[in-house]
Every structure is written in C-alpha cells, then in structure tokens.
Amino acid sequence: MSIPAFRFPCILTACLIASSAQAAVNFEKDLLPAITKKCIECHKASHLENGQKKDPKAGLRLDASWAILKGSENGPVLMPGAPDKSGIFESVTLPKDEDGHMPSKGEDLTKAEIALLKTWIQEGADFGGWIGSVEGMPAGAMTESVKPYKPRPRDLFYAKLEKEVKPLSDDVLAKAKEAGAQVAPVKVESPLVRVDFLTGVSKCDDAKVAALLPLKENIVQLDLGRTVITNEALKTIGQLPRLVVLDLRQTKITDAGLESLIGLKKLESLNLFGTEITDAGLKHLAKLKSLKNVHLWQSKATKPGVKQLNAAIPGLKASIE
C-alpha cells in the first residue's frame, strides 16, 4: 500500500516557529529561517554527499516555493486556503501512533506552531516574493497554477459520513479514555474517529469494547489487534453503523463470531491475520458486499475458500499469503 509521501520526512511543518497569528504570516520572515535550519537538509535538490547521490526524501523539496507547490513524488502536499486538504498540515495533526504522524522523531509541534501553519495556509499560503533555489526549476514553473487537490476515495467516503454525525462530547471521550481506549479524529476537525487499545492490548476485553457503544455513531476505524477479546466483543462491533476499517489480528475470535458482523454495511477493510478463522467463517463474510480488502495471512482459511470469497464479492481482494 502506498503511503502519501508528505507523511515520510521532516517536512515543512516540523520546522515552524511560534509567531503571532493576529497578523498575516510572512513566509520568508517568519517561517523560512526555521525551515532552512531544520528541514532543507533532507528536502533540497539532489546532491552528492560522501561521494553518493542524495535525493530529497519522498521527492519533496522545501528549498523553493515552486518546489513546495509541486509537492512530493505522490502529488501535491499543499492546497492554499484549505488546511484540511493539505498533507503538510494533516501530517502534524494525525495521532502520534499513526505511521504518517510528523515529526516522526523528537518533540511534537506545539499548539502555537500548528496554529501558525494553519493560519498561513488559510491566508492562501503566500510565499511573498520568495522563490528560493532555481536548480531544477522547470520553465514557466512560477506561472503555472497549483495542481488541483485530488482526495483519496476513502477521504470522499468519510466526507459523506461526516455529514451524518455530530462531534463527540468531552464527557463521552473521557469515559472511553477511562476504559483504556485511545480515540482520535481520522483527520483534523472531523467528528469521525479511530479507536485502538494499543497502550493496553492485554487489558482490552469484551467489557472494554462494550464501553465504546456511546461512540458507535462516530467510529469508522477500530483496531483491536492482539487484544483478549472473544466473540462476545463482535456483538458490540456489529452495532457500529459507520465502521469502515476493522483490525482483529491475532485475537481468539472464531467463525461463529463473524456472523455478528454481517450488518456492517460500510465495512471495507478487515484484518484477520493470525486468527483461527476457517473457510466456514468466510461464508459469513461473503454477505458483507461492501468489503474491499480482507487479510487472512496465517489464519486457518484455505486458498479455495479465499478464492470463493473473492468470487462472491465483486472487486474484493482477500489474501491468504
């Protein structure tokens, strides 16, 4: 699976310094000094280092305005006027345990730094007169318009789901935290959330999962991998109407438990790695027509069973190895 390139390296936002958000952010004055000091070393034009060619990480250059607007090897990372559609902003607001969270090492950005970045993008991401390095700059680069933002299919799906729910109250979130759950928005300012128990998998049992019911309308991603849940927890999970991604890897669930999931009409991704699920359980999954990916590595399912499951759901990619 391809991970957006803006999520890899020490990017622009990891280098911001606090500044007053009441006045327009001056990129060259307020941001460039920190970027030059902390970020450009990994995000400048290709060059020789110790006799070896060193390319900018993820193809993302931060040493020129035209290069920032060009984005990474996977496309644009900045959409002027729209922080929620700009990868460089999303990466610093992701949950800390997400692969794409930035900075990947060291201290997280402060609230003031994140606010400064957001303000700069909201104001139009104006670079002023700063161009930066012209090495490798294509002809007419400064006159080309910014490439339109192209949201991923799942982002579009989430945008639709967002209109159906209200943000969770602080009281509900506090109670979920007391139960050991880590709850975070799937993207900045979204009412949709992802939930996991990664800091206490050995303590996450059926009762802990049942404590998530007050959040049921908002949960779209749930990671219960390596927890001690049983089929009883699947009865709770079956009540999450907007669940899209479910991770049950290395749990003790059985074929019978999967029957509790057949009402999840929006479920797209299911991880059953290292479980005792057999071909009998796959017959229950065949009723989930929304499924797009099912991971069955090191389960008890067989190749013929997986082949039959793929045939039952158009477009499904169920894999056993």
Lowest mean pLDDT among 102-116, 183-197, 293-307: 102-116
| Average pLDDT, integer, range 177-188 | 89
The winner for highest mean pLDDT among 31-45, 89-103, 176-190, 212-226 is 212-226
Cα R_g (the chain), whole angstroms:
23
| Average pLDDT, integer, range 199-219 | 95
Question: Under a CB-based contact definition with an 8 Å cutoff, are residues 86 and 79 in contact?
Answer: yes
Interatomic CA distance for residues 295 and 166, integer angstroms: 32
How many Cβ atoms are within 10 Å of 63's Cβ, its own excluded?
A: 21
Place of tokens 């910014």: 146
Question: Under a CB-based contact definition with an 8 Å cutoff, are residues 83 and 89 in contact?
Answer: yes
| Average pLDDT, integer, range 149-153 | 61
The winner for highest mean pLDDT among 12-16, 84-88, 180-184, 251-255 is 251-255
pLDDT in tens, 90-146: 777 777 667 666 766 656 767 777 777 777 778 888 888 788 888 888 876 655 544
pLDDT at 103: 67
Does 58 have pLDDT greater than 60? yes
Interatomic CA distance for residues 29 and 130, integer angstroms: 10
200 or 215, greater pLDDT: 215
What φ, ψ does residue 39 adopt, rounded to 5°? -120, -35
What φ, ψ does residue 185 adopt, rounded to 5°? -65, 145
4 or 198, greater pLDDT: 198
Quickly state the pLDDT bin for 15 (edges 50, 70, 90). very low
176 or 105, greater pLDDT: 176
Question: Under a CB-based contact definition with an 8 Å cutoff, are residues 226 and 251 in contact?
Answer: yes
pLDDT at 151: 60
DSSP 260: G
pLDDT at 78: 86
Q: Which domains does the chain have, with CATH numbers?
A: 5-149 (no CATH), 158-319 (3.80.10.10)
Does 281 have pLDDT greater than 80? yes
Question: Under a CB-based contact definition with an 8 Å cutoff, are residues 240 and 216 in contact?
Answer: yes
Q: Which residues pair with 48 in a beta bridge?
A: 53
pLDDT at 42: 78
pLDDT in tens, 222-256: 999 999 999 999 999 999 999 999 999 999 999 99
Which residue, 211, 220, 209, 234, is CA-closest to 285? 234
